Amino acid sequence: MTVLVTGGAGFIGSHFIDMHLEGHHEDSVVCLDKLTYAGNMDNLASAQKSGHFRFVKGDICDRELLKRLFDEVRPDKVVNFAAESHVDRSIASPQIFLETNYMGTAALLDASLEYKVKRFHQISTDEVYGDLPLESGEKFTEATPSAPHSPYSASKAAADMLALAYYKTYGLNVTVSRCSNNYGERQYPEKLIPLAVKKAVSGEKIPIYGDGKNVRDWIYVKDHCKAVEMILANGKAGEIYNIGADNELSNLELIEKVIDALEKLGVKNAETEFVPDRKGHDRRYSISAEKINRELGVFSLTDFDEKLPEVIQWFVRSFESDSSSSSAGL
C-alpha cells in the first residue's frame, strides 16, 4: 500500500511518517511538502533511511503537480497534514491560510477522487469549535457545531466541511480528526512550549498573552499520531473523530511547569511578561475523545508531567546547538 502524507516535513506529519514506517514495513510512504518556514528536512532524517520512503517538494495547491504525482505513485491513502497553522500569522495575513488550508485541500480532494483513493484523512483542530467558558465543565464533541473565531480556524472548518461534502456528494472515503494542542520534539518555536524554552535559553522574558488564564488540552504528538493510525485503519467513512488527552492547563500553569523543568536543567531565573492579548483569543478548549475510544478502541496516553521535561530537554539541546553553530560561523 502507498500512503501519501502531505505536510510531512512539519512537526506532527514527520512523527506520523516515522510511526507509520515503523509499524507498516510493507507500506510505501510518499511525503509531499512545500518546505515553508515550519517544514524541515531534518525532521525526516529517520524516514530517509527507509527504502520505502520518498520525498517530493511541492505545493498542494499546484494541481498540475498533484496530477503528475498521483498518476505516478497511485496512492491508496492520503493523509493531509499540510496547513498553515499559527493563529497569530492568520490574523496578520489570512490570505495564505485560505489558499493552503482550503484551496489546497480542495485540490487534494479532486486528485483523490480522480485517482480513486481508498481513504482521504483530513487533519483538523479543536479550534474549529470556537471556545468554552472557563468555569464550565463542557467539552467539545463531534456534534458540537463549528464556530471558528480566527482566520486559521475558519479555514480549517471550511476544509473539513468540504472534505465531508466530497463523501456525501461523490462517495469519497473521507474521515476527519480534530485534535487538541500538541506538544513534542520538532515543534516549530512559534508555539508556546518551544517559544518559552527558546526565550529562556536566550535570556529573554517569556511572553504570556492577556491574563494567562486561557486553557488548552495538551496531548503528546505521538499519541495524536497513534489515534490517526487507528482512524486510517478502522475509521468509518464520513465521520469526525475528536482526539484529546483530558489534560487541561491554563497558560500560566503550563509556563510554571516549563520554568520548573528548565531550572532542573540548569536554565535559571527564567522570567515572564504579560503582553497584550491576541485578537479574538479563545478562552478555553476542552475536547471529548469518548467517541474514538468507544468505536475504535482506547489509545494509550503519555503522562504529561513525565514527558514534558524530556521534551524541554530536547529543545534546550536543540537551541543551545543552534546557538553554538551560529557563534562558530562568526
Q: State the catalytic residue, choosing from 33, 126, 223, 248.
A: 126
Q: Among candidates 21, 304, 79, 325, which has minimal Cα distance to 184? A: 304
Backbone angles phi, psi at 246, to 5 degrees: 55, 45
Q: Among candidates 190, 245, 199, 241, which has minimal Cα distance to 221? A: 245
Distance CA(18)–CA(306), nearest Å, equals: 22
The alpha carbon of 131 is separated from its chain's Cα centroid by a whole number of angstroms, namely: 18
126 is catalytic: yes
Query: In degrees to the nearest 10, what's the CA dihedral of 119, 120, 123, 124?
Result: -120
33 is catalytic: no
Q: State the catalytic residue, choosing from 115, 152, 167, 220.
A: 152
246 is catalytic: no
Q: What angle do CA 172, 224, 233 make, to 5 degrees?
A: 40
Distance CA(261)–CA(256), nearest Å, equals: 9
Q: Where are the alpha helices (DSSP H) in 85-206?
A: 87-92, 94-97, 105-114, 151-170, 192-201
Would you call 220 helix, strand, or coil by DSSP?
strand
Q: State the catalytic residue, choosing from 127, 229, 239, 282.
A: 127
Residues with catalytic function: 126-127, 152
